[in-house]
Amino acid sequence: METPGLDLEQSALSQRDNLTTLQSHILSGEQKHPNATGSFSWILSALSLSAKVISAKIRRARLSDVLGAVDNVNVQGERQQKLDVIANETLLRCLGNRAGVAIVASEENEEPMILQRTAGDGQRYCVLFDPLDGSSNIDTCGGVGTIFSILRHDSKASTPEESVLQAGARQVAAGYILYGSSTVFVYTAGAGVSLFVLDPSIGAFLKVGDDLKIPATGKTYSCNEGNRLTFPAGYQRYLDWAQTNGYSSRYAGAMVADVHRVLLQGGVFLYPPTKKAPDGKLRLMYEANPMAMIVEQAGGKAFAGTQRILEVQPKTLHQRTSVVLGSRDEVDHVLKHVG
Ligand code: AHG
Ligand code: MN
Ligand code: MN
C-alpha cells in the first residue's frame, strides 16, 4: 500500500538511485588518481569515523551527563565545554594512527601537533579542525558542527606551524559535519561539493547530493545583530539597505548551521569586525578557510573585507578574520556597501 503524500520518485533517495556511501565515494575518487597511495582516503575515513562518534556523543549528551563546561579555557581564552574536549580527543584518536597524517592542528590546542615523525610511503598531510563549532548551543539542543581543512605537509618546513601556515587556496580538501536534526557531512576535494547524510540505523553516511550549487541570490542575511552598533559603518549601511529591501534575518549562532542553510537556500553569512573583536571573531585557518573553499566550489563567494578569504596569507595558526560569504549576488551587495 502506498503512503499518501510520499512520492518516492521525488525523494532524495529514490528506489532507482544507486546507494553511495562516503566510503565508496572516497574510494572512487582515489581510483581517478593513478598515483594515489591511499593516504588521503585514510584521512577522510578517519574524519568520517570521528563524525559518527561525535554525533553519537552529542545525541546522548544529556543522558551521559556531558553537558556544560569544564574548568578550563582554551587557547582562545574561551570556556571549554565538556563536549569540546570530547570532540577534540575523538578526532585526535581517530587521526592518530593514519599514516598520511603528519600534523594536526586544533582550535583547542595551542600548538600544532606532530603525529607521525617518520615519513611513510606517499604524500603526507596536515589536518586542521574546529572539533565543535557553536558549542554554546549544545546545552539547548541547537545545531553544532565540526569543520576541517586538509593541506599538504611541507616536509622542508622547520616547525609544524610553518608547515600549516598556507593560504586557503592551497587546501587539498575541506568540509564540515553538521550535527543538526540529522547529521550531514559536506565535503569538497576541489571538484565540486558533495553532501552525505548519516543513516544511524546502518552507521553509514549516504550520498544525497553531488556538485551542490548555492543559489546566486537569497534575501536572507545571517549575522549577530546584537553587535550592529559596533560594526564598521559600511556593514551598518548594508543592514539598512537589506532591511529596507525586504530581507529576512536568520542566525543560529553556530557557523556550521548558518553556512549550511546559506549553502542550500542562498543568502549571506557575515561576521564583521566589532569593537570587541576588531579583526573579526572567526578563525581563519579552521573556520573561514574551509567554509570559503566549500562556498567557492559551490559557485558562491567568500571575502574578508575586500580580499578573497582564500588569498589571505596566515601569520599565526589561531588568527582571526572577518567573514562575508554566501550567494554570489548577496556577497556583492555587502561588498558594495563595505568596499
Ligand atoms: P566555537 O564554538 O567553535 O568557538 O565557534 C563559535 C563561533 C561560530 O560558530 C559562530 O558563528 C560564532 O562564534 C557566534 O558568535 P557570537 O556568539 O558572537 O554571535
Ligand atoms: Mn567554531
Ligand atoms: Mn569550536
Q: What's the pLDDT at 7? A: 52
pLDDT in tens, 46-105: 999 999 999 999 999 888 877 878 877 777 777 788 899 999 999 999 998 888 999 999
DSSP assignment of 256-316? HHHHHHHHHH--EEEE---SS-TT-SEEIIIIIHHHHHHHHHTT-EEEETTEEGGG---SS
| Within-domain flag for 130 | yes
Report which protein residue has its CA nearest ligand 1's atom 6: 134
Where among 209, 228, 244 does a domain terminate? 209
Cell numbers at residue 283, please?
A: 578563525
pLDDT tens per residue, range 115-127: 766 655 566 999 9
Does the Cβ of 20 fall within 6 Å of ligand 1? no
Last residue of a domain, one of 183, 209, 235: 209
Distance 234 CA to ligand 2 centre (A): 25
Q: 229 and 203 in one domain?
A: no
Compute the distance from residue 144 Cα to the ligand 3 centre, in Å: 9
* Residue 246's CATH number: 3.40.190.80
User: Which of these three, 209, 230, 260, is where a domain ends?
Assistant: 209
Which parts of the chain have pLDDT scores under 50? 1-5, 8-9
Ligand 3 ion: Cβ-proximal residues, 5 Å cutoff? 107, 130, 132-133
CB 127 within 8 A of CB 172: no
CB atoms within 10 A of CB 9: 7
Per the CB < 8 A criterion, the answer to whether 172 and 150 are in contact is yes
Residue 7 lies in a domain: no
Domain count, the chain: 2
- Indicate which CATH number applies to the domain containing 165: 3.30.540.10
pLDDT of residue 34: 73
- The pLDDT value recorded for residue 117 is 60
pLDDT reported for residue 185:
98
DSSP 3: P
Q: Cell numbers at residue 315, please? A: 601569520
The residue segments making up the domain with residue 317 are: 220-338
Same-domain status, 202 and 231: no
